[in-house]
Amino acid sequence: MAGSITARNLFDDLRQRLRLHWLYGEELDGGYSISRDDLTVRPAAVGFLNLIHPNRVQVLGLEEIGYLDNLEPEELKVTISRMFGSAPLAIIVGDGLKMPEPIFKAGNGGLTALLRSDLRAHELVNYLQYHVSRSLARRTTLHGVFMEVFTIGVLITGNPGCGKSELALELLNRGHRLIADDAPDFTQISPEIIDGTCPEALQDCLEVRGLGVLNVRHMFGDSAVKLNKFLRLIIHLRVPEGAHRSGSGDRLRGDTSTQTVLDLEIPRITLPVMAGRNLAVIAEAAVRDFMLKMKGFDAASEFIERHARLLNGQSGDLKD
């Protein structure tokens, strides 16, 4: 979805899910919209009726309708004027209630859409908040093959011709799953989580040099394809050149670093591509080791501590 959404977008996307009924605004083409910037200011994008910090989408439930019903006519008029004065994208009545007639009359001729739903108001707020934040979340597209390996979302990157697709094909043969080839889309759905999906045009496809485009679903079955996965690890393939061919680097911890994706630091492991190496086995080992580190076990640190104990023991024997 684009960088802003309108009441028409919400209605078209959520009509069945939220059992929405359009009461007013059918002809609106230039109505209000919610932009990505609206997610960073204090008034919430979606919430229950709030006149102090008005929400962009105001939801009315039993309590809100009861509050309005108990207002004196003049006070109700002022309250409704304040509701529409904040230029809400939409006013939605939940709990299967009818839109109060004063609100319907005040909204007639304006740019605010009026909707109602048979769902409970708190369900409307919860789902609308999720939908709006997900639709307007920051997103990017990265070059690589995004796969699920041992339940972990792994992005395989590297220069053209380094063997990304060949590695993905071998991993598929070993029972892992493809999410997206070439241009996976990534969306930041929470402060610490990036979700990766496949563009519709590339769904189920994997391009392998010499073979062309392969349909993974038809070749390996439905279980070989997954719709989305959280990005947890990046495996970068590098063809060594010059001095790097000697295998220089940290022999204990490997070539590990991080890569910034949507301002989040994602762990990255760089694997050298050389003749005779089984990259699929090495990639699986890299993912298994990463999962162990997530659980608190670091093989390199344990190895260093073991040798330190042995050296200290030998020093003690010499002193004796």
| Active site annotation includes 164 | yes
How many CB atoms are located within 10 Å of the residue 299 CB? 12
Helix (H) or strand (E) holding 157: strand 152-158
Q: Which two tokens stand for residue 193?
A: 């989580």
Burial of 179 (0-12, 13-18, 19+ CB in 10 A): buried
**Amino acid found at 140:** T
| Active site annotation includes 143 | yes
Residue 170 phi/psi, 5-degree rounding, is -65, -40
Nearest to 129 by CA among 193, 207, 48, 199: 48
Cα–Cα dist 9/115, whole Å: 13
**53, 143, 277, 306: the active-site residue:** 143
- What is residue 241's DSSP assignment? -
| Active site annotation includes 37 | no
| Active site annotation includes 251 | yes
**116, 131, 164, 236: the active-site residue:** 164
Cα–Cα dist 71/81, whole Å: 14
Catalytic residues: 143, 164, 182, 251
